Amino acid sequence: MNRAAQFSLLSGFAADQWGLVTSAQAKGAGLNGVQLLRLAESGLLESVAHGVYLVTAVGEPRHLEVKVAWLRLQPSVPAWQRSAGDPDSGVVSHASACQLQELGDIPAPVVEISVPRRRVTKDSSVRLRTAVVEPSDITLIDGLPVTTARRTILDLLGAKADGGHVGGVIAEAERRGLVSVEELAEEAGRFVRRYGMPRTSDGRALIEHLVLQAGETLRSDQLERASQAGFNSALHMLGLQHMFGSQQANLGRVLANAALPVSGLLQLTQSIQSLQHGMASSGREAASAPDDATPSGRSARRADDDDREP
C-alpha cells in the first residue's frame, strides 16, 4: 500500500472524527507503526496525544483535548459505532460538559468523563468519574455525548463544586431555556446541607443562594419583577383614567407590555372590577344629589335648611 492509499484510508476515519484517527484504528485497517511515523514525518499527520493523530489538512478542532480523551476510551472503535450505553464508552460531564455547552465560567483544568464502570487512566489531564448516565440525560454536541444541562448541574452539586460557579451555570442554563428552575429545585433539595444551608431549606432556596453567590439573577425572577411593575403601572394608569379622562390607548400599551402571569391577570381583573364598581357607585350618588344650579335644586336646599332651623 503506497503512501497515498494509506493516507486515503486514514482520512476515511478522520472525516467523521473531527480530523482525528487513533493508532489502534489505523492498525485495524492494516497500517503499522512505521507507516504512521512516516506519514507524520511527511507532515500529513500530527501526533496530538499518545496513540492519536490529527490530519493536518483539517486543522485543529475545538475542544481537542476532550475529543482525544473520549476517543481513547475505546481506541479501536470508530466514533460512529459507539453507543452511549456501552460499558466501555463514556459521557462528557461536570465542568467539561459546561465547557462544551458554554455554560458559566467554571474552570475545567482536566477533562471529566462519566463512565458506567470503574476505570483508571494514567493520563493526569483526564478524570474518569464512575456514574451511570441515562439516555435521557445525554445530548450530542459536535458529535460528542454530553450530559444535559440539568444532569450537569446535579452532577456539579453532587461533587460540591464551587457555589458561585454552579450558580453561574444555573443562571446561564435557565436564561437559555435549558432547564426549568422548578423542576431543578425538586432534585436539588438533597444537596442543601453540602452547601452549609439549614436542613429546613429547600431546593429553590439553594438555587437562589448559589445564583446570588454568582452575582447573577434568574430570568424567572426578572420576569416576575417586570410583571409586578407592569401591574402597578396598569393600576396607576387606571387611576389617571378616572381622574383625567380617557387614556385607553396608553392603558392598552401598558397592559400589552406587562407580561403578567395568570395570577397577576386575575388580580388585575379583580382590581379593575372593584375600581369600576366604585366609580359606578360614585356616579349614582352624584346623580341622585340635588344640583344647586337648578331651581328644583335650590328649592330642595332651602327646604333642608328650613328643616334644620330651630
Per-residue pLDDT tens, the chain, 310 aa: give them: 789 999 999 999 999 999 999 999 999 999 999 999 999 999 999 999 999 999 999 999 999 999 999 999 999 999 999 987 788 889 999 999 999 999 999 999 999 999 999 999 999 999 999 999 999 999 999 999 999 999 999 999 999 999 999 999 999 999 999 999 999 999 999 999 999 999 899 999 999 999 999 999 997 655 555 554 455 555 555 554 554 444 555 555 555 555 555 455 555 556 555 655 655 565 566 555 555 555 555 554 554 555 454 4
Residue count of the chain, please give it: 310
Residues 6+ apart with CB under 8 A from 144: 63, 66, 67, 70, 92, 100
Dihedral (CA of 196, 197, 202, 207) sign: negative
Cell (9 digits) for 38: 512516516
Helices 94-101, 64-73: crossing angle, 10 deg rounding = 130
Question: What is the C-alpha to C-alpha distance for residues 131 and 128, in angstroms, rounded to an integer?
Answer: 9
Answering whether pTM is above 0.75, one says: no
Residues 6+ apart with CB under 8 A from 269: none
Judge contact between 20 and 48, C-beta under 8 A: yes
Judge contact between 139 and 91, C-beta under 8 A: no
Cell (9 digits) for 204: 429553590
